[in-house]
A and B are shown apart, each in its own frame.
Chain A
Amino acid sequence: MARYLLLKHYRGGPTPLTDVPMDKWTPEEISAHVQYMQDFAERLEGTGEFVDGQALSPEGTFVRYDGEGRPPVTDGPFAETKDLIAGWMVLDVDTYERALELAAELSAAPGVGGEPLHEWIEVRPFLAAPPTIAE
């Protein structure tokens, strides 16, 4: 039992195998891609492995504290941020291998021409509760 975060990046991963931006796809190709993701999440709820899935807007703002009584300082959005997260899925699976297997399935979501996108998915373990028996 371990929880993993599957991250989809707009940018920032290894060089993508196909690099046609989504706004150059056909509407049907986009619908097929979205449908694949929904089906994937539904199937994992059925296997008892789904925890959460969310998509993020690419536009973000950086915020920081600027001292007592002063409004927060904001910066951005930056059009060229190197690493840009598009969304995530949280899974609760038995093994790391299972997390990799599912990430690979997510990576096979269809893109241009209905072909698998081979998108890079980042897999990161959550920090768990510490085990009671450690010695």
Chain B
Amino acid sequence: MLRTLTPAVIGILVRRGVDFAATEDAVQDALVEAVRVWPTDPPRDPKGWLVAVSWRKFVDATRADTSRRRREVLVQAEPPPDPGEEVDDTLALYFLCAHPSLTSASAVALTLRAVGGLTTRQIAQAYLVPEPTMAQRISRAKRTVSGVRFNQPGDVATVLRVLYLVFNEGYSGDVDLAAEAIRLTRQLAARIRHAEVAGLLALMLLHHARRAARTDSRGRLVPLAEQDRSRWDTRLIAEGVHVLQTALARDRLGEYQAQAAIAALHADARTAEETDWVQIVGWYDELVRLTDSPVARLNRAVAVGEADGPRAGLAALAGLDSALPRYRAVAAYLHERDGDLARAARLYAEAARSAASLPERDHLTRQAARLNADLRT
């Protein structure tokens, strides 16, 4: 796959002394040419071809722009010898593109372009913004990190955060962002032995396995308990569980492993009734301990409601901020199970008004309508 070569080619040019922004542009141009030329004239050494063409693109761009750049860059007609891969350039590129000085939107865009090899147009379409806006976002991001030394070791946590966002928050356009996030996380996991990298990969695989069952033929959201589990991808589940077990064996627990463990327990249940909610509550306790996140506490309350009954779930909900996203949806669900249908209907309707997405809003509205219909009869 052409795009898998992108980070290594960028790395080689950067180590030849070309600045990151110019390199990234040149490699993009070379990728476009490869898509045009390779189908009829495939190179014997794809990476060598990309390096040579990227170098030529860089030289051309520099020549076209010499008056401004004359004093900045010494242009050589022939590329200097490859200094050899002393360090892992691909890894360095992940760190650079997720640098803490970048906003999350910029880090996501830069990672998809420089590490993922997607075009600006594809990224713009995936995030529903105009192409010039995305082009500016990317070039600003490149300027922001231009002073960062390429091989500086970075924080794995920031890289994981970016990959998590790519997986979790995108529209379903022509570019399959979830699949791309998995590819990039897989590539990262192959380069770095880190329990949380494996944990995130497992988390993605286990959730991706449910994709076909998550919406019905009309695009409506199907809650976990009602999903047709025969449509879950058992191959992805097996891989996710294996990756997770290997990670857990390193005994360096983190939030992604804990979330993956919860997803694995759901994957393990052949029916919703078989779900091991007691173990799931245990993992939520870990997750709350690791992150102290209100969202984790909210999800824990759902699990407690399943393990120990709705009253216990409502008790776990007490003390949480009712302004939390999905708080009212959770409260509605627990009150319904506790038999207070009127209160549940009211809460579902309120939850629908504050839903952050259209499928969630429609789902919650239907829940309120279902209860109101029951209450009338």
Residues of chain A whose beta carbon lies under 8 Å from any beta carbon of chain B? 1, 3, 45-52, 92-94, 125, 127-135
Minimum CB–CB distance for A90 against chain B, Å: 9
Is the Cβ of A135 less than 8 Å from the Cβ of B130?
Answer: no
8 Å CB contact of B358 from A46, A50, A127: A127
Is the Cβ of B178 less than 8 Å from the Cβ of A132?
Answer: yes
For chains A and B in complex, what number of residue pairs have CB atoms within 8 angstroms? 87
Minimum CB–CB distance for B354 against chain A, Å: 10
8 Å CB contact of A51 from B105, B133, B299, B326: B133
23 contacts between A and B (CB under 8 A): A46-B136, A48-B105, A48-B106, A48-B136, A48-B138, A49-B137, A50-B129, A52-B130, A92-B129, A125-B356, A127-B357, A127-B358, A128-B356, A128-B357, A129-B171, A130-B357, A131-B168, A132-B178, A132-B208, A132-B214, A133-B168, A133-B259, A135-B302
B-side contacts of A131, CB under 8 Å: 168-169, 357
B-side contacts of A45, CB under 8 Å: 130, 132-133, 136
| B48 contacts the other chain (CB 8 A) | no
| B346 contacts the other chain (CB 8 A) | no
Is the Cβ of B127 less than 8 Å from the Cβ of A1?
Answer: yes
- Bound-state CA distance A91–B355 (Å) is 20
Minimum CB–CB distance for A67 against chain B, Å: 27
The residue in chain A whose Cβ has the minimal distance to the Cβ of B284 is A135
Interface of B is mostly: helix
For chain B residues 347-366, which have a beta carbon within 8 Å of chain A?
A: 355-361
B-side contacts of A128, CB under 8 Å: 169, 356-357
- Bound-state CA distance A3–B359 (Å) is 17
| B140 contacts the other chain (CB 8 A) | yes
| B221 contacts the other chain (CB 8 A) | yes
Contact with A along B274-316 (1 / 0, CB 8 A): 0000000000000000000000000100100000000000000
Minimum CB–CB distance for B194 against chain A, Å: 20
Residues of chain B whose beta carbon lies under 8 Å from any beta carbon of chain A? 103-106, 108-109, 127-130, 132-134, 136-138, 140, 165, 167-172, 178, 203, 207-208, 211, 214, 221, 224, 259, 262-263, 266, 299, 302, 326, 355-361
Q: A45-B132, A50-B133, A132-B168 are in contact. Are A127 and B105 (CB under 8 A)?
A: no
Is the Cβ of B266 less than 8 Å from the Cβ of A51?
Answer: no
The residue in chain A whose Cβ has the minimal distance to the Cβ of B223 is A134
Is the Cβ of B127 less than 8 Å from the Cβ of A127?
Answer: no
* B106, B128, B326, B359 — most chain A CB neighbours (10 Å): B128
Minimum CB–CB distance for A50 against chain B, Å: 5
* B137, B203, B361 — most chain A CB neighbours (10 Å): B137
Is the Cβ of B169 less than 8 Å from the Cβ of A1?
Answer: yes
Is the Cβ of A3 less than 8 Å from the Cβ of B128?
Answer: yes
8 Å CB contact of B105 from A50, A52, A92, A134: A92
- Bound-state CA distance A93–B214 (Å) is 28
Known A130-B360, A133-B259, A134-B326; 6 more pairs at CB < 8 Å: A1-B108, A1-B169, A47-B140, A129-B170, A132-B168, A133-B263
* B109, B178, B207, B266 — most chain A CB neighbours (10 Å): B207
Is the Cβ of A129 less than 8 Å from the Cβ of B105?
Answer: no
The residue in chain A whose Cβ has the minimal distance to the Cβ of B224 is A135
8 Å CB contact of A48 from B140, B214, B355, B360: B140
The residue in chain A whose Cβ has the minimal distance to the Cβ of B165 is A1
A-side contacts of B132, CB under 8 Å: 45
- For the complex of A and B, list the 4 residue pairs with the smallest distance between their C-beta atoms, beginning with the closest: A48-B137, A130-B357, A48-B136, A1-B105
The residue in chain B whose Cβ has the minimal distance to the Cβ of A49 is B133
Is the Cβ of B105 less than 8 Å from the Cβ of A132?
Answer: no
Is the Cβ of A129 less than 8 Å from the Cβ of B357?
Answer: yes
A-side contacts of B137, CB under 8 Å: 47-49
Is the Cβ of A51 less than 8 Å from the Cβ of B128?
Answer: yes
Q: A1-B105, A47-B140, A132-B167 are in contact. Are A92 and B133 (CB under 8 A)?
A: yes
